[in-house]
Amino acid sequence: MKLLTKKVITRRIILGIVLFFFLICFVQLIRGMQKLSLHSDAPPDYWELFKSSAHRINFQIAVNNKKEPPVATFLYKNYYCIYVKELLHNEELPLGSLITEIRGCEALKGETIWSSTYTSSKRAEYFLSTHIEPVDRFHKLYLVIDGDSMSVSKNDSCFIYSLSLNNFAVKYEARGKVDVHLKKRWSFDKLRVEIEVLKKNKNVYLIIMCPMRDQQFIGSDSIKDVIS
């Protein structure tokens, strides 16, 4: 009986510890959700980014933490998922002076707090995240890029990256918090994506375009055909 009692007590202690940690995680989740805000439409300046293809764009959802610009999700031709977020506001400097590229994913270690949007396809899955707390913004963008078969197109107002993706992230300091993060998940196949950093009307936007059902873009479809 004494041995049985000890086993019961041990089990109850373990159960209590598990429930305690579950409660802590649950409270953190609720606090995080309370900071989030859902929107029934994208900001007007997001819609203005699209060319004549706007009639083929369907808005899905926009999410933010009530103090940050929202991440808006669109569908294009019901085949591509397009994410848009304003990164910098009222910025005078050209993109070439703002952007620093970091190759590889080492700079992403240690980042833990995310508010996430998840989308999957038949052959590849990916995870798009944005920081749940407000992020200090400076006149710099650090783009963390990890992938293969990358082509890059650059001018004073537009940087476009086309690549087979492992990881992509945006930070405002070299050792600062990650604001936006896109990564491959649960797949050996790399995801083909197109990523554009666009400066328009002194605002700097991040646009990410991903195929939803296959790895590859179809025909001549590209982010250049969609974004003005």
Does 123 share its domain with 194? Answer: yes
Scored b (16 or more CB within 10 A) or e, 81-95 reads bbbbbbbbeebeeeb
Average of per-residue pLDDT across 78-99: 88
Does 9 share its domain with 112? Answer: no
Greater pLDDT, 38 or 83: 83
Does 124 share its domain with 21? Answer: no
Least confident among 75-89, 111-125, 191-205: 111-125
Helix (H, G, I), strand (E, B) or coil at 212: coil
Does 11 share its domain with 63? Answer: no
For residue 13, report the phi and psi dihedrals to the nearest 5 degrees. -65, -45
pLDDT digits (tens, 9 = 90+) for 167-186: 888 888 888 878 888 877 65
Does 141 share its domain with 108? Answer: yes
Least confident among 8-17, 159-168, 215-224: 8-17
Residue 115: pLDDT above 80? no
Residue 121: pLDDT above 60? no
For residue 105, report the phi and psi dihedrals to the nearest 5 degrees. -115, 10
- Total number of domains in the chain: 2
Does 108 share its domain with 76? Answer: yes
Q: How many CA atoms lie within 13 A of 219 on its CB side?
A: 5
Q: State the pLDDT confidence band at 19, using cuts at 50, 70 and 90.
A: low
Confidence at residue 158, expressed as pLDDT on a 0 to 100 scale: 92
Cα distance between residue 209 and residue 196, in whole Å? 8
Cα dist from 96 to 75, 146, 199, whole Å: 30, 20, 11
Instruction: For residue 103, give its domain range.
Output: 40-217
Q: Please give the share of the chain, as a percent, with pLDDT higher than 90.
A: 12
Q: Residue 65: inside a domain, yes or no?
A: yes
Least confident among 49-58, 141-150, 160-169, 203-212: 49-58
DSSP string, 24-81: HHHHHHHHHHHH-EEESS--HHHHTTB-GGGGGEEEEEEEE-SSSPPEEEEEETTTEE
Our measurement of the distance from residue 190's CA atom to the centroid of its chain's CA atoms, rounded to an integer in Å, reads 17
pTM of the shown model? 0.77
Q: State the pLDDT confidence band at 221, using cuts at 50, 70 and 90.
A: confident
Q: State the pLDDT confidence band at 30, using cuts at 50, 70 and 90.
A: very low
Does 12 share its domain with 107? Answer: no
Residue 112: pLDDT above 50? no
Does 97 share its domain with 182? Answer: yes
pLDDT digits (tens, 9 = 90+) for 129-158: 776 666 777 788 999 998 888 889 998 889
Tokens of 107: 């700079």
Confidence at residue 113, expressed as pLDDT on a 0 to 100 scale: 47
DSSP string, 150-210: EEEEE-SSEEEEEEEEEEEEEESSTTS-EEEEEEE-S-SSPEEEEEEEEEETTEEEEEEEE
Does 204 share its domain with 149? Answer: yes
Do the beta carbons of residue 121 and residue 187 sit within 8 Å? no
In the predicted model, what is the mean pLDDT of the chain? 75
